[in-house]
Structure 1
Amino acid sequence: MSDSVAMEAASFYDGLLTDGLAGPMHEQFADAMRARKLLFGDRLRCNVLRPRFIGERTYQEVQRGAVVVTRALTSLHDRLARSAELRQELGVPPLIEAFANLDGGTAVDPIVGRLDGLLDTTGSIQFIEYNPIPGASIEVDELADIFRELPPMRRLAERYDCYAPPTRPPLMEALRRSTAQMGVGARPPGVAIVGVIAAKNQPSIDTLQQFLQQQGAPVRVASPVDDWELLPEGLHVGGTRVDVLVFPYIATALELVTRHSARHPVVEAVRSGRAFILNGMFRSMLLGSKQLFALLSDPECAHLGDPELIAEARSYVPWTRRVREGKTIHEGRKVDLLEHVREHRERFVLKPEHGTGGEGVVLGRECSAEDWEAALERARAVPHVVQERVETPRESYPVPSVEGLRFEEHHSDLNPYVWSDSSVSGCMVRLAKGALLNMNAAGSMTPLFVIRGRR
């Protein structure tokens, strides 16, 4: 099925909305989000009245590409994890070495990662970065649940065969698979969420905690200075057995291994394999480096991982390079990297090698030549990558307002969750009026529904 039927479904859905329906519907929608704590700080997670629709063939290609790119990234990670010398040669930040001694040798499978991607103007998926500690996986399903109960979505489901790819079941399946490798057995794994949670992220942590508890998993929010104990039967905090440690912020894990004793019960438990950090902290730090996308993109670096996987993954990532002096190949032509990026700023984006929330990202098209030059100078001093901008079409979404229903143009992304490095189910979709798609930049979420065809 082509995405033309998805576009037709969106048009049908939008045609069901009227000013008379949109007001009460938005009240119902907003009340449901508040009841489920689907908030970013004090903002509602979703501020539009329609999900994103795509065709099944497009979703299947997103799934395929996400698995290929994740496996290629994992092949690079495996090589880097074995060689401190190679990490140093590539300029991997020294702080990562603190985690190499913590869980660099873990044999427990990762649970979940998220690739952030964009559908370009041809409808092809391009993945621009990897998030090794992804948020909002539960919220994706919760938003889909709310939309299913809205009148336009019920009418649409009568005419079109559609579904929202789930995230909650694969999360529990991946969690059980990983804890089984530790010998946890049939009992629900105990989970500790470690760190002081920023107010804007507290609703998301509450949602995760509530979901895991509903699945029978004991969950405790704790800090490194709480009453941790490593007993013969396992790691405990405040009387709760802990098998899985979730660090929403890498800074908390860094504090644990640098400021606290190596004999801290958490450190001893992770090193001895009696507890594990979600996705592995050493693994997360390596895979969170945007430089890995430069290694995927540059054919001269294919030998650093599985060459066949990397060659296949290259079609799913935009041209990316680490910012530094020297020559490189762009569109088949050898160019001076800095000079080329300076002269064609509208085609490129600068990103810190490590960082989340859109912090430090500079869009060449959105800034002056002087600001771009200043950004390039910063990028030479602190590790950055430069990435070719992915051109994406904008889409109109219904938005409630005090004047009534409006339709506003939005940019959108498509960010699949990859479970245990082997399967894809569910996508986070962010919307924004500007080109920077991030919740920190006043963005919005909406769920993804896949349209199989007409009934």
Structure 2
Amino acid sequence: MEPFILPGPVYDELFTAAAGLLALLRRAVLESAPDRAGRLAALGLAPDGDDYPLFTDDDLIEERYCAAMARPDVILGPHGPQFIEFNVSGAFGGPAETHLLSRVWTEIYGSHDGAPFTGHDPLQARAAFFEQVCEDLRLPRAVALVGSPYEQDQAATSRYYDIEVDVLRRRGLRAEFLEPDRLPHGLGLPERLEFPVGLRYFATADWTSRGQPLDPVRSVLDAGCLLLPPQSSYLLANKKVLAWLSEGLPWMTEADHALARRYVPWSRVVGDTKAEWRGRRVDLPELLMSGRERFVLKKAIGMMGREVLIGRLSTPAQWTTEVERALSEGDTIVQEYTESVPYELEMCDASGTRAERVPVSPVLSPMVFGGRPGGCYARYFPSGESGVVSVYGQGAMENAVLKGVQR
């Protein structure tokens, strides 16, 4: 019956920290090797692998815009915000939902003296980013949203795409939503590329899992359409990179280390190696086997919480099996578990007649578009339970996070 409301300094801190960590992720990837093949190798990926199939030949564009859009997932722990992972792509959920929910809450609570909260608008922030791209590259003000109105193998509405198209058009950009079967001709090809810039509003894994070929997207890229963010953005989203920052990299300054220590839970790439743990050097496999309840295992490539195992919510046998698999395959990070500080959210009871305040453990997601703060999305379980909090994966509820206004 209300949004999540944070004090102004805490709300602003989420975006400042998100932008700072995103810059470190970008540099970590670019510094890992001088070229794409080396960066893929540093992440344990084959140069011709299936995980990242849509690279272009323009390395400058790949590097320039790889950090263009991000939605980290944050837990407000006892010691403040903890960034547990970064979604870096154009396909993450939250922009349309936050845009709509923020508008609803503002209209409901602002009918008299103005709403007691405010917040950034993700769709306006992303539109401003595309305006800047068109201006910087001297391209026509035209943006195509390339995606599919299908989620979880079920037909879904295109309404979220249509809402964003409307926002772009209201800002004076030509905009169109294009499904896979409208590519490449929907962009005016082969005669003329009418949309030189596009939003890559899909995850390749979603399309390939449904048998949707990527050939039309490849033809659009080959024709010169700049689909943003580019494939390199997914390197930043690889959870190994966040673990690199937690462990520390040679080029990091003391300010960089301080930023990572402040906002990133202790994280390491799982391997048969030593690790620094609370001031002492320990054997990492032994630490994981003996400290199940302290840690979370996450595959480096994954989404919707599908490849996450929380130690305290697993059995000893499950944990042992997954640790052994991670050690064997080298595709997983371990992260110290962060307990969420409960937030009391006003909700309606099951009868729909009485309001009550219920403690919940939300995951917050401040969004950043081209360096601009773009609103904050939240997911939670109304039961108050914590764990892996995902809308599509576990059926979590959604809400917007807004900034309280002092009067």
What TM-score results when the alignment is normalised by the length of structure 2?
Answer: 0.84
Gaps of 5+ in 1: 1-48, 236-240
What is the alpha-carbon distance in structure 1 between the residues aligned to residue 284 and residue 68 of structure 2?
37
* Per-residue deviation, 1:367: 1.4
What is the alpha-carbon distance in structure 1 between the residues aligned to residue 183 and residue 9 of structure 2?
49
Contact 1:262 1:268 in 2 (8 A): no
- 1:190 is aligned to 143
* Per-residue deviation, 1:120: 1.0
* Per-residue deviation, 1:102: 4.7
- 1:143 is aligned to 101
- 1:177 is aligned to 132
- What amino acid is aligned across from residue 345 of structure 2 in structure 1? Y
Structure having the higher Rg: 1
Matches within 5 A, 1:382-397: 382=329, 383-397=331-345
- 1:287 is aligned to 236
What is the alpha-carbon distance in structure 2 between the residues aligned to residue 423 and residue 201 of structure 1?
33
Matches within 5 A, 1:341-360: 341-360=288-307
- 2:6 is aligned to 54
RMSD: 3.0
Q: Which residue among 391, 396, 402 is the counterpart of 1:439?
A: 391
- What amino acid is aligned across from residue 78 of structure 2 in structure 1? T
Q: Which residue among 369, 375, 379 is the counterpart of 1:426?
A: 375
- 2:44 is aligned to 91
What do the CA deviations read for 1:95-149 (whole angstroms, capped 9, x no partner)? Answer: 2564445554416535421111111113x11111111122221210210111223
What is the alpha-carbon distance in structure 2 between the residues aligned to residue 182 and residue 254 of structure 1?
32
Would you say 1:126 and 2:82 are equivalent positions? Answer: yes
The percentage of aligned residue pairs carrying the same residue is: 20
* Per-residue deviation, 1:411: 0.7
* Per-residue deviation, 1:346: 1.0
Contact 2:25 2:241 in 1 (8 A): yes
What do the CA deviations read for 1:64-117 (whole angstroms, capped 9, x no partner)? Answer: 211110110111122246332353244135425644455544165354211111
Seen in structure 2, the aligned counterparts of structure 1 residues 111 and 138 have a Cα distance that, compared at 3 Å, is farther
Contact 1:351 1:361 in 2 (8 A): yes
What do the CA deviations read for 1:159-192 (whole angstroms, capped 9, x no partner)? Answer: 985212322221110011123333224x3x1304
Q: Which deviates further from its counterpart, 358-367 or 141-150?
A: 141-150
* Per-residue deviation, 1:294: 0.8
What do the CA deviations read for 1:20-61 (whole angstroms, capped 9, x no partner)? Answer: xxxxxxxxxxxxxxxxxxxxxxxxxxxxx1211111111222
- What amino acid is aligned across from residue 219 of structure 2 in structure 1? P
Gaps of 5+ in 2: none
Seen in structure 2, the aligned counterparts of structure 1 residues 198 and 232 have a Cα distance that, compared at 3 Å, is same
Seen in structure 2, the aligned counterparts of structure 1 residues 220 and 450 have a Cα distance that, compared at 3 Å, is closer
Seen in structure 2, the aligned counterparts of structure 1 residues 298 and 199 have a Cα distance that, compared at 3 Å, is closer
Q: Which residue among 45, 51, 63 is the counterpart of 2:15?
A: 63
More helix by share: 1
What is the alpha-carbon distance in structure 2 between the residues aligned to residue 249 and residue 342 of structure 1?
34
* Per-residue deviation, 1:395: 2.1
Contact 1:120 1:393 in 2 (8 A): yes
Would you say 1:416 and 2:369 are equivalent positions? Answer: no
- 1:9 is aligned to none
Seen in structure 2, the aligned counterparts of structure 1 residues 361 and 130 have a Cα distance that, compared at 3 Å, is same
Seen in structure 2, the aligned counterparts of structure 1 residues 427 and 93 have a Cα distance that, compared at 3 Å, is farther
Would you say 1:74 and 2:26 are equivalent positions? Answer: yes
What do the CA deviations read for 1:355-386 (whole angstroms, capped 9, x no partner)? Answer: 10000211111112111112212322441110
Q: Which deviates further from its counterpart, 136-145 or 74-83?
A: 74-83
Would you say 1:113 and 2:64 are equivalent positions? Answer: no
Seen in structure 2, the aligned counterparts of structure 1 residues 168 and 346 have a Cα distance that, compared at 3 Å, is same
* Per-residue deviation, 1:296: 0.3
Seen in structure 2, the aligned counterparts of structure 1 residues 163 and 203 have a Cα distance that, compared at 3 Å, is farther
What is the alpha-carbon distance in structure 1 between the residues aligned to residue 296 and residue 350 of structure 2?
36
- 2:226 is aligned to 276
* Per-residue deviation, 1:451: 1.4
What is the alpha-carbon distance in structure 1 between the residues aligned to residue 81 and residue 157 of structure 2?
27
- What amino acid is aligned across from residue 389 of structure 2 in structure 1? L
Q: Which residue among 376, 381, 398 is the counterpart of 2:323?
A: 376
Seen in structure 2, the aligned counterparts of structure 1 residues 425 and 309 have a Cα distance that, compared at 3 Å, is farther
What is the alpha-carbon distance in structure 2 between the residues aligned to residue 159 and residue 224 of structure 1?
45
Seen in structure 2, the aligned counterparts of structure 1 residues 264 and 112 have a Cα distance that, compared at 3 Å, is closer
What is the alpha-carbon distance in structure 2 between the residues aligned to residue 444 and residue 132 of structure 1?
22
- 1:330 is aligned to 277
What is the alpha-carbon distance in structure 2 between the residues aligned to residue 164 and residue 128 of structure 1?
23
Seen in structure 2, the aligned counterparts of structure 1 residues 380 and 206 have a Cα distance that, compared at 3 Å, is farther
- What amino acid is aligned across from residue 234 of structure 1 in structure 2? L
Q: Which residue among 193, 206, 210 is the counterpart of 1:234?
A: 193
Structure 2 residue matching 1:172: 3-state secondary structure = helix
What is the alpha-carbon distance in structure 1 between the residues aligned to residue 138 and residue 114 of structure 2?
48
Contact 1:321 1:386 in 2 (8 A): yes
* Per-residue deviation, 1:234: 1.8
What is the alpha-carbon distance in structure 2 between the residues aligned to residue 81 and residue 262 of structure 1?
30
